[in-house]
Amino acid sequence: MKQLTKKSISSFRRVNLITVIAVYILILIGGIVRSSGSGMGCPDWPKCFGSVIPPTNVDQLPSNYQEIYLNKRLAKNERFVATLEKLGFAEKAKEIANDKSIHVEEEFNPVKTWIEYLNRLAGVAIGLLIILTVWKSFPLGKMDKWIPILSIFNLILVIFIGWIGSIVVSTNLLHWMITFHMMLALLLVSLLIYVYHRSGKLVLGKGVKMDVPRRIELVLLIGTILMLIQIVLGTQVREQIDIISSSLGNMLRDEWVGRIGLDFLIHRSFSIVLLGIHVLYFFWAFKYTLRKSQVNLWSQVLMILIILEIATGMGMAYFGIPAFLQPIHLLLGSLIIGVQVILLLEIRENIQFLINTN
């Protein structure tokens, strides 16, 4: 029975970890979709041009396909606007209803269509993995009831994220909807990491606990909050880039950064603050934690990611925002949040253990 329990825990954690990796792959693919301008490669959802497998040539579509899918999107937007009004978000509802950019329908592009289609396939794969995670979580409920509860919540969250993704398409990539979609993905990966950490306590030993000062947890928490703000600021910069690139016909990339203005200056200056906060955290983590402890090792990973994140940001600023750097920059920012969550959980466990034993 004990062996069966360990096997159930190991099986659950394996699937959970694979799901975390899959979500990060999806975030990377989402960045590629954004940087390649493929967000509207499929004008409908969940199908793509009304098919499970999208077309490869415009001849496979009716001559008035743009009008057909525009009308479908507008009908869906009307329902979404009505829902927002009922929920009390009258201003947002009005903003969507009066947004003329939503009425623009892109021409069929097979490359963009298939990039977006692969993005959706990755989303389906994550949905299936989440369902498997829920199924694997049930045997663990006798030891920790919160593991299946949180796993079921993650499934509900994935369904909600999918629905928000459909709204992103129907609103023709409305900027704040893209940001909201991204923040939901970060919430999902954070919850998956938390469940993985929680399930590990069922089978792993307590290990060596350290006397970690509370100020380390506090400065890391501040760093995590600032990182989330920085990601939102980054999406605002990305919105400006989209507008500028569109106005210049996706040409003159070297001029894009110079035309962004205040949003870019805030985003760039904020990275300096972030670096300072995390240098302070790393100094304290190096000073007060064991060299081969999980906290120390993950702290090193965190600093490497932050340096790479700043480097890719500088690369985009000084080299005309290369398309290949944009998804990497987004992925690194998302990985930073994940590592911060891991560290907060590890540090909190050490602090809680010392409180309970004193």
- The model's pLDDT over 32-43, given as tens digits with 9 standing for 90+, comes to 988 888 888 888
User: How many Cβ atoms from other residues are within 10 Å of residue 9's Cβ?
Assistant: 22
Tokens of 264: 């870019």
Task: Tell me the mean pLDDT in the region 181-186.
Answer: 93
Q: Sorting pLDDT into bands at 50, 70 and 90, what band is 212?
A: confident
Contact 55, 61 (CB under 8 A): yes
Indicate if the pLDDT at residue 2 is higher than 60.
no
- Residue 210 is predicted with a pLDDT of 63
pTM beyond 0.85: the answer is: yes
- Residue 86 is predicted with a pLDDT of 87
Please choose, from the candidates 156, 158, 163, 192, the residue with its C-alpha nearest in 3D space to the C-alpha of residue 177.
163
- Residue 258 is predicted with a pLDDT of 75
Q: Sorting pLDDT into bands at 50, 70 and 90, what band is 323?
A: confident
Please choose, from the candidates 230, 232, 255, 233, the residue with its C-alpha nearest in 3D space to the C-alpha of residue 245.
255
Q: Sorting pLDDT into bands at 50, 70 and 90, what band is 1?
A: very low
- Residue 3 is predicted with a pLDDT of 57
Greatest mean pLDDT range, 18-27, 64-73, 249-258: 18-27
Rounded to the nearest 10°, the torsion over CA 210, 196, 200, 225 is 10
Contact 132, 15 (CB under 8 A): yes
- Residue 334 is predicted with a pLDDT of 96
Q: Sorting pLDDT into bands at 50, 70 and 90, what band is 159?
A: very high
Indicate if the pLDDT at residue 358 is higher than 70.
no
- Residue 118 is predicted with a pLDDT of 92
Contact 194, 341 (CB under 8 A): yes
**Of 67 and 239, which is predicted with more confidence?**
67
Contact 36, 195 (CB under 8 A): no
CA distance 102 to 223: 36
Indicate if the pLDDT at residue 288 is higher than 90.
no
**Of 336 and 284, which is predicted with more confidence?**
336
**Of 296 and 206, which is predicted with more confidence?**
296
Write the single-letter amino acid at 36: S
Please choose, from the candidates 281, 319, 322, 277, the residue with its C-alpha nearest in 3D space to the C-alpha of residue 299.
281
DSSP secondary structure string for all residues of 174-194? -HHHHHHHHHHHHHHHHHHHH
- Residue 354 is predicted with a pLDDT of 46
The pLDDT tens digits for 60-107 are 999 889 888 888 888 888 888 898 888 888 888 888 888 787 777 788
Sign of CA dihedral 245, 331, 18, 222: negative
Whether omega for the bond prior to residue 139 falls within 30 degrees of 0, making it cis, is no
Lowest mean per-residue pLDDT among 21-35, 143-157, 286-300: 286-300
138-147 long-range Cβ contacts below 8 angstroms, 24+ apart: 139/5, 139/8, 139/12, 140/8, 140/9, 140/12, 140/199, 140/202, 143/5, 143/202, 144/198, 144/199, 144/202, 146/198, 147/12, 147/195, 147/198, 147/199
Q: Sorting pLDDT into bands at 50, 70 and 90, what band is 243?
A: confident
- Residue 116 is predicted with a pLDDT of 92
Lowest mean per-residue pLDDT among 45-59, 69-83, 190-204, 242-256: 242-256
Please choose, from the candidates 290, 304, 294, 356, the residue with its C-alpha nearest in 3D space to the C-alpha of residue 335.
304
- The DSSP output letter for 139 is G
CA distance 290 to 288: 7
HSE (CB half, 13 Å, CA atoms) of 306? 26
- 121: phi then psi, degrees, rounded to nearest 5: -60, -40
Lowest mean per-residue pLDDT among 196-200, 291-295, 311-315, 325-329: 291-295
CA distance 42 to 249: 21
- 305: phi then psi, degrees, rounded to nearest 5: -65, -40
Task: Tell me the mean pLDDT in the region 329-342.
Answer: 96
